[in-house]
Chains A and B, each alone.
Chain A
């Protein structure tokens, strides 16, 4: 009886010990990625122009080149509002003659794009979206043609700002 018990003990040791001999070594590394908020804005044209016209026949003059195509790329925090806005640096000027920038309006086409009226005092929203992504749309400008505008060749500068918090 003694010999049978001894054999059982030795064989059990062999079976249990085998897994502990498996050769494996592990090491852990940490992977991190800083994904920052960035924005990129592309306009199809840097200049828009309005032709001369009779205020009675063309009270609202569309820009000659047609709509400006806009591509807005933005990476923002989750749920954050991404805003494209435009502001005139000054009114329309031709020497000493001045036409308020508010005579320029636009319509928007594309998801998130809205109509608006140009302002010198504050940025006006052109489009707004939520979160990260690439968006495209267009902006068609109009000039309100009035008999009271002094003749001349007028210019102004507009600044577009795409913000992605």
Chain B
């Protein structure tokens, strides 16, 4: 008799703890695509082209099964590098359309910068056009620089 009562109590506790987890299993489904995956700045004279513009990229965001906020951020893995030469990544900015949900900003290697944000679902997917720009300067060393950008779509 005593054993039966204990078993029933255990089942109630176990089910109440597991229920929220099962709900999260049907939680936000996120899709993020970027095309192209290469962003290139061509060489130009700082006098004639003080700001170098790269061809735009398309960022596609889809958020399903979500009622809360979502956010797309970008973080540079470092400055633009070429061997020991470096161009500070903060010299790269971007503009974005449509706004909202997309927004412009300045690249950072320390803090992820918001690219887009919203609440609830984004379905069908929404395309954003991001145009990156490099502040041109006579002080840069001539070289071919590269860096990696990490875009992260989250719906916490």
Contact = CB atoms under 8 A, between A and B. Distances in A.
B7 A34 contact: no
A78 B14 CA distance: 66
Interface stretch (A91-99, A129-137, A144-152): A129-137
A32 B57 CA distance: 14
Interface residues of B, number: 62
A34 B87 CA distance: 11
A25 interface: yes
Interface in B17-33: 17-18, 20-21, 24-25, 27-33
> Is the interface on chain A under 10, 10 to 19, 20 to 34, or 35 or more residues?
35 or more
Contacts of B14: 6-7, 10-11
B138 A21 contact: no
Interface string B1-45: 001001101100110011011001101111111100111111111
Among B80, B92, B138, chain A packs the most CB atoms within 10 A around the CB of B138
A73 B145 CA distance: 21
A31 B21 contact: no
B143 A132 contact: no
Given A3-B7, A76-B142, A10 B17 contact: yes
B39 A30 contact: yes
B52 to A, nearest CB: 8
A28 B84 contact: no
B144 A35 contact: yes
Given A21-B24, A33-B134, A78-B141, A27 B47 contact: no
Nearest to A80: B142
16 contacts: A6-B10, A10-B14, A14-B17, A23-B30, A24-B154, A25-B31, A28-B151, A29-B34, A31-B149, A34-B42, A35-B144, A38-B44, A38-B45, A78-B84, A132-B138, A134-B138
